[in-house]
Structure 1
Amino acid sequence: MKLFLGTVTLSWAGFVIHNVADLPGQTLLSPETLFPSLVYVALVALWFTPARTVARFALLGWVGLHLVGGAVVSVLPLPFLPFDPEQTLYHYAFHVVYGLTQVPALVVLSRRRTRLPR
């Protein structure tokens, strides 16, 4: 249980650090940070219900989306993406941190047994 909560919290923290420290004008209450944070909370709360298997797969998808969407896709110089902040080494360093913080949760969630306690 501690491992699950720790890795999901690390995943969320990587997302928040990226948004608040690297994106201009972001706070914990900015919609771009608040709404995804509420998704984390809802999925963790779902984990503690009989729908644990659904929560596990939803969290796998959510964390995977953060890894692919936040750490890979947004650093590619695609012409249709806005580049604010500017794509600098500083910005890319935050994406490395963001990506690395997703990996432990992906590993734990993909290996986790979903048996409910009796």
Structure 2
Amino acid sequence: MLLVGAAIAIAILGSLAHNAIEFGIGSVLVSQNGELPLAFPWIAGFLTWWRIPQARIPAAWFLIALAGLNLIGGGIITVLPLGFLPFEPEQSLTHYLAHLIYGVAQLPVLAVLLREVTGPATAPRQA
């Protein structure tokens, strides 16, 4: 439980760090960028995973999907100057760093929960 909670806390902190770097520390303190609404799915997913045993695997998959979406959408796609985006991302080292932190912060959730849903790795059988 502690490991999953810590991984989720890191993911949320990655989002907060991204917004603090991109928009200033004030953006983290006020909800103009939606920090509280963005943390809600993480918290709800974790509480479901932790407190409802029969929902543990679906909740784990939900959290894996959330981390994957944040990694791919927030950590990779939105840093690139792609024509279909409704904005033109700044192409600077600071911008890249903010998205790197955001993306890397999702990896602990993926590592911990993918291990849980796929079971322990087993060594190949020897004949």
Specify the TM-score bucket, using the shorter chain as the normaliser.
Answer: 0.7 to 0.9
Deviates most, 5-14 or 15-24: 15-24
Cα distance in 1 for partners of 2:84, 2:103 equals: 22
Question: Higher relative contact order at CA 8 Å, sep ≥6: structure 1 or structure 2?
Answer: 1
Aligned to 2:74: 70
2:39 to 34, 37, 40: 37
Q: Structure 1: which 4+ aligned runs deviate by more than 3 Å? A: none
Structure 1 counterpart of 2:123: none
- Paired AA for residue 10 in structure 2: L
Larger Rg: 2
User: Any stretches of 5+ residues in structure 1 without a counterpart?
Assistant: none
- Provide the TM-score with structure 2 as the length reference: 0.79
The structure with the greater share of residues assigned to helix is 2
Structure 1 position 80, deviation (Å) = 3.0
C-alpha RMSD over aligned residues? 1.9
- 2:121 counterpart residue number: none
Q: Distance in 2 between matches of 1:77 and 1:100?
A: 20
Unmatched 5+ stretches in structure 2: 119-127
Partner of residue 100, structure 1: 104
